[in-house]
């Protein structure tokens, strides 16, 4: 079968995985040829409970036979229950919830809220950001997809990503001087702003940007910059939310509470569910101004029921603790590999969201897209799906995110396959 014959190729310069997937269960996907492939990307970084989790399957089977979809102005018990559960899982004053379908949609809604409430329209995001491919979300996305599509809305500003492994503004010791970097960044924002700053939209850990975690204290300082300018801080926890980083929400480590929080991928554990969460004060101000944002599948009961099941499983099985323990095992294994493979330049991340950066020289930190692509191919041949950042100049950075339900043995299996793939790829490429 010619897999590309009738499909629009939508992966930029990337290619489709060459084998068709027939089924999936737990930490594995199974090809049509019967080959089992260990999934270290949790699908599209979403299936935090693994594939075909029995609780999710049971909820879908039950709910789809009773109530699956409604007019967006109609409400159902699953929607109210999920909104209540989400609010209870978050610190005050986050208590108002809207349920949507994708991360891009939740970021669109968040930005519309921020613009309406502040009266501004300008948005600040990291230069390595990925927030979605729809209008305002794409305007705040800088890691890919900006060239060739015409102008984005005016008032979108990028600030440098605080990358400790590749620092741009440094201290006398050569370490990242993030306070100075942040000051310089907002000096540039202020110089370009027309006085209409509305929001700063960032990921607590940049994913497509290369698993870059801002240093402790950074998010609090960023929030102060927002407060000084009357902006709202919007945190996009599409990939970091709901236990993946070892806490229920990644922002908990930094002691900040965003004005608006967006959730998506992990909330549906692989099904299309997203949420935007804000305070009663912001919601009331937006409502008074006639806030309008809905899609065909806003407040759909089927996926809302799944969302509550996801929260049930996370809580019942203490998967925040599991992510911390299993993530430690994964990072320890990667550090052991780094002792054997000179091409491993950096291991980073938190919980079960881990980054692995390959270099051809540890001193110069010169990367290699060719090497990253070769390791990716060899891993797949050996039975491991690894997700490399599909961007020019960054294809040596792997995003490793196994399901939170993975076993220690499966993590060890993945590390063993990666070890062999590195040996084979280095011989073939370098």
Per-residue pLDDT of the chain (430 residues; tens, 9 = 90+): 788 889 999 988 778 898 999 999 999 999 999 999 999 999 999 999 999 999 999 999 999 999 999 999 999 999 999 999 999 999 999 999 999 999 999 999 999 999 999 999 999 999 999 999 999 999 999 998 899 999 999 999 999 999 999 999 999 999 999 999 999 999 999 999 999 999 999 999 999 899 999 999 999 999 999 999 999 999 999 999 999 999 999 999 999 999 999 999 999 999 999 999 999 999 999 999 999 999 999 999 999 999 999 999 999 999 999 999 999 999 999 999 999 999 999 999 999 999 999 999 999 999 988 999 999 999 999 999 998 776 665 668 999 999 999 999 999 999 999 999 999 999 999 8
* CATH 1.10.8.60 corresponds to the domain 67-316: no
Q: Which of 108, 112, 130, 283 is flagged as catalytic?
A: 130
- pLDDT score, position 391: 63
What are the start and end residues of each CATH 3.90.1150.10 domain in the chain? Answer: 21-53+318-429
Instruction: Respond yes or no: is residue 239 known to be catalytic.
Output: yes
Q: Which SS3 state, helix, strand or coil, does residue 26 take? A: strand
- pLDDT score, position 409: 98
Q: Which of 236, 259, 369, 410 is flagged as catalytic?
A: 236
Instruction: Respond yes or no: is residue 316 known to be catalytic.
Output: no
- pLDDT score, position 394: 63
**CA torsion sign, 117 to 123 to 126 to 129?**
positive
What are the start and end residues of each CATH 3.40.640.10 domain in the chain? Answer: 67-316
- pLDDT score, position 393: 59
Instruction: Respond yes or no: is residue 420 known to be catalytic.
Output: no
| Residue 153 C-alpha from the chain's centroid | 23
Instruction: Respond yes or no: is residue 342 known to be catalytic.
Output: no
Closest listed residue to residue 313, CA positions, set 270, 356, 282, 348: 270
The β-bridge partners of 25 are 28
Strands 274-279 and 94-100 come out as antiparallel
- pLDDT score, position 256: 98
Instruction: Respond yes or no: is residue 203 known to be catalytic.
Output: yes
Pick the CATH number of 21-53+318-429 from 1.10.10.10, 3.40.50.2000, 3.90.1150.10, 1.20.210.10: 3.90.1150.10
Token readout for 198 is: 């509305």
Q: Which of 108, 348, 399, 410 is flagged as catalytic?
A: 399
Most distant CA atoms of the chain, gap in Å: 64
**Is the link from the previous residue into 227 a cis peptide, with omega within 30 of 0?**
no
User: Distance between CA 179 and CA 80 in Å, rounded?
Assistant: 42
Q: Which SS3 state, helix, strand or coil, does residue 383 take? A: coil
Q: Which of 265, 322, 331, 350 is flagged as catalytic?
A: 265
Buried b / exposed e across 278-311, counting CB within 10 Å, b at 16+?
Answer: bbeebbebbeeeebebeeebbbbbbbbbbbbbbb
Q: Which of 39, 177, 203, 320 is flagged as catalytic?
A: 203
Instruction: Respond yes or no: is residue 225 known to be catalytic.
Output: no
User: Distance between CA 80 and CA 377 in Å, rounded?
Assistant: 45
- pLDDT score, position 368: 87
User: Distance between CA 6 and CA 276 in Å, rounded?
Assistant: 35
Q: Which SS3 state, helix, strand or coil, does residue 321 take? A: helix
Helix ranges, 230-343 (H): 265-268, 280-288, 301-316, 319-340
The β-bridge partners of 361 are 366
Q: For the chain, how far is it from start to end, CA to CA, in angstroms?
A: 34
């Amino acid at each position: 079968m010619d897999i590309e014959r009738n499909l629009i190729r939508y992966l930029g310069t990337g290619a489709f995985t060459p084998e068709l997937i027939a089924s999936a269960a737990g930490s594995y996907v199974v090809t049509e040829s019967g080959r089992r492939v260990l999934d270290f990307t949790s699908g599209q970084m979403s299936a935090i409970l693994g594939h075909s989790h029995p609780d999710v399957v049971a909820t879908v089977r039950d709910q789809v036979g009773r109530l699956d979809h409604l007019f967006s102005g109609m409400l159902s018990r699953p929607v109210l229950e999920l909104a209540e559960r989400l609010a209870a899982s978050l610190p005050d004053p986050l208590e108002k919830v809207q349920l949507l379908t994708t991360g891009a949609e939740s970021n669109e809604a968040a930005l519309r809220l921020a613009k309406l409430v502040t009266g501004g329209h300008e948005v600040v995001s990291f230069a390595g950001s990925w927030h979605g491919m729809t209008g305002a979300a794409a305007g705040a996305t800088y890691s890919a997809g900006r060239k060739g599509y015409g102008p984005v809305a005016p008032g979108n500003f990028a600030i440098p990503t605080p990358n400790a492994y590749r620092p741009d503004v440094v201290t006398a010791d050569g370490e990242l001087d993030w306070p100075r970097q942040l000051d310089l960044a907002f000096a540039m924002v202020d110089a370009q702003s027309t006085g209409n700053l509305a929001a700063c939209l960032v990921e607590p850990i940049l994913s497509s940007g290369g698993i870059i975690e801002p240093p402790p204290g950074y998010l609090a300082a960023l929030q102060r910059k927002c407060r000084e300018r009357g902006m709202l801080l919007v945190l996009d926890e599409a990939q970091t939310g709901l236990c993946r980083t070892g806490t229920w929400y990644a922002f908990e480590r930094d002691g900040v509470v965003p004005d608006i929080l967006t959730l998506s991928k992990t909330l549906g554990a692989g099904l299309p569910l997203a949420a935007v969460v804000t305070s009663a004060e912001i919601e009331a101000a937006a409502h008074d101004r006639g806030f309008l944002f809905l899609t065909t599948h806003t407040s759909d009961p089927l996926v809302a029921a799944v969302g509550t099941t996801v929260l049930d499983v996370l809580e019942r099985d203490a998967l925040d603790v599991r992510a911390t323990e299993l993530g430690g095992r994964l990072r320890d294994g990667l550090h052991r590999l780094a002792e054997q493979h000179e091409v491993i330049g950096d291991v980073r991340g938190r919980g079960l969201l881990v980054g692995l950066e390959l270099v051809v020289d540890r001193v110069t930190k010169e990367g290699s897209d060719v090497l990253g692509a070769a390791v990716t191919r060899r891993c797949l041949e050996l039975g491991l799906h690894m997700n490399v950042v599909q961007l020019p100049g960054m294809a040596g950075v792997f995003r490793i995110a196994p399901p939170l339900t993975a076993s220690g043995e499966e993590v060890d299996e993945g590390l063993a396959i990666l070890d062999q793939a590195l040996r084979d790829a280095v011989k073939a490429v370098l």
